[in-house]
Amino acid sequence: MPQYRKPTPKTQKQLSEEQHVPTYPQYGNPNASVPASNNRGTKISWEGDDAKLFSIGIKDIDEAVMYYMKSIIKPYVLQNGERIEVPVIYGSPERWKSVQRDGYYKDKNGAIMLPLIIFKRDSIEKVRSFGNKLDANTPNNYQIFEKKYTARNAYNSFDVLNGIKPQKEYYAVVIPDFVNVTYSCIVSTYYIEQLNKIVEAINYASDTYWGDPDRYKFRISINTIQTPTELVQDSLRSVKANFSLTLYGQIAPDVPQKDLSAINKFFDKTKAIFSVEVVSQISK
């Protein structure tokens, strides 16, 4: 007969940890696997706070380039008297290999896409001449921001009459890592005149800040633009422009290590002053 093991009851610690619901599920239980050096007493909950945890990722940088190309530069060509918007796509490994091998890119139906702008990220170089967080395990370099209004310190007449000053709330943001991100871009059109208009627009946008005004913007630099003319399949004439784009950005990843070891949110110190009043009664 099989031997069944008697179930072991859970400890009080295990029962307690099961009741904890994290504010951000991607970080898991805030009380599990916390280093002994980490003082949970200094951490303030973000639950109900309308401010978001600050982070800048590689995807945010790629989206800044894509947004500026599509929404600000808005490349177009004139074909047979009609204005045609030039599609901008990110060069995944399969797409970029197809463009490099065949000299053109095909859509889902197998048709050659012209005109087209395709770009891909080549490298990320860390800039060590600027300030940084000093140590990822215990960041010590922050930028402090004050929150102008909080529901915790709402205005009321009682505080004004009693001279109570509101407690200020601050956010400490870790200094990000400064990086130089290099992109390779290819612009393909039918005619040189069409290519010239796109190259002029892209060259004019160099040395400025690219990105969504409601999110992040990064400075862009373009130095050399090459314009070869090629004949591809079935004598299809393709005019191209190849150039490298350098983005000067920052990276502050959204990782548990940063949020466990860094100061994110804190309040200033408050004090209560008590005065003593003495009333003497003179007996008659």
* pLDDT tens digits, 122-140: 999 998 887 666 677 777 7
Measured between alpha carbons, how far is 129 from 127 in angstroms, rounded to an integer? 6
Per residue of the chain (284 residues), give pLDDT as tens: 566 677 788 888 777 777 777 666 655 555 555 555 556 666 666 666 666 677 888 999 999 999 999 999 999 888 888 898 888 988 877 777 777 666 667 777 767 777 888 898 999 999 888 766 667 777 777 777 777 777 666 767 777 677 777 777 787 777 888 999 999 998 888 888 888 899 999 999 989 999 998 888 999 999 888 887 665 555 566 788 889 999 999 888 876 555 555 557 767 766 666 666 666 666 65
User: By the 8 A CB rule, do 195 and 230 touch?
Assistant: no
Amino acid identity for residue 90 in this structure? Y
Q: Which residues make Cβ contacts (< 8 Å) with residue 132, sequence separation at least 6?
A: 141, 175, 176, 177, 178
How many C-beta atoms surround the C-beta of residue 251 within 10 A? 17
Q: Give the pairing type, strands 116-126 and 88-90.
A: parallel
What are the φ/ψ torsions at residue 254 (nearest 5 degrees)?
-90, 80
Beta strands in the chain (DSSP E): 76-79, 82-85, 88-90, 116-126, 142-147, 169-174, 177-189, 209-211, 217-226, 229-231, 237-251, 265-267
Quick one: how many helices (H) and strands (E) in the chain? 6, 12
Beta bridge partners of 172: 144
* pLDDT tens digits, 84-121: 888 898 887 777 777 766 666 777 776 777 788 889 89
Beta bridge partners of 246: 182, 221
Count CA atoms within 13 Å of residue 226 on its CB side: 9
